[in-house]
Amino acid sequence: MLVTLKELLKEAEVEKRAVGAFNVPNMECLRGVIQAAEDLNVPVIIQHAEVHENLITIEEIGPLMVAYAKNAKVPVAVHLDHGASLTACLKAIKLGFTSIMYDASLKDYETNVKETSELVKIAHSVNVSVEAELGEMTNSAIAGGEGRESSLSDFGNVDLFTNPQQAEDFIEATKVDCLAISFGTVHGKYMFEPKLDFERIAEIRSTTQRKPLVMHGGSGVSEEDYRKAISQGIRKINYYTYMNMAAGDALKKKVINNSSTEIFFDELSLLATDAIKENVIQALKIFNGL
């Protein structure tokens, strides 16, 4: 069932849980994520990240995402992740996406407010939800790809974290439906154990009248930290790198263990789908308090 992000986050707020949001740049990811959500009977968000255009274009994968969402047995929002331009966001809306993220977080604050506000007006006029980002998310040196490139000194740098008072002003000015915040997570594989600023999450929630908050760089966070972040007000968790790695590990084992026999790609495709599904199931159980 195709729904908006705003609908899912409203229910998540009432039930004090988070909705899992998974990038799906191929059929194995798309099928694995939907199957995992249906097996657990929980809602889910499927995303196309603009940074994955080198893997598959939104014109190719977008219609499939919308079709799978419509046919799913659970509520599914179809979301553009890290849209960097008005053109990309409008393209997603025209394809039937029910939410978009416009990411102007690396621009100056005034530009972020101005451009996000304009996008919100357009999206809300056609019942499309909008996520924005405030503060700077960094990339891991391994399997990164979103946010700016990082140095070791960036990890845990509170100067890059979201300012609670600025978050209040930003949400009031832009009218976004949810806000991605920086509080210690990174995109990609963690090189060090993340040190998350949970007090900052709570303070931002307090200043923004309990607006739904989003965790980017959700892969690789411990179960304890997931649950604590959710208790403080995180309502959407982006997750991709570690489910991608789970599929890669499954295929690696298959190839190594069957090096002397033929290997057919369709078998590998199903194996990857199953590995993604199992990894996503474990994440969704935590996000939904199961």
Catalytic residues: 81
Q: What is the DSSP string of the chain?
A: -B--HHHHHHHHHHHT--EEEEE-SSHHHHHHHHHHHHHHT--EEEEEEGGGGGTS-HHHHHHHHHHHHHH-SS-EEEEEEEE-SHHHHHHHHHHT-SEEEE--TTS-HHHHHHHHHHHHHHHHTTT-EEEEEES--EE-SBS--SSB---GGGTT-GGGSPPHHHHHHHHHHH--SEEEE-SS-EESB-SS-----HHHHHHHHHHTTT--EEESS-TT--HHHHHHHHHHTEEEEEE-HHHHHHHHHHHHHHHHHTTTS---HHHHHHHHHHHHHHHHHHHHHHHTT-
Dihedral (CA of 105, 110, 114, 115) sign: negative
Q: At 251, which amino acid appears?
A: L
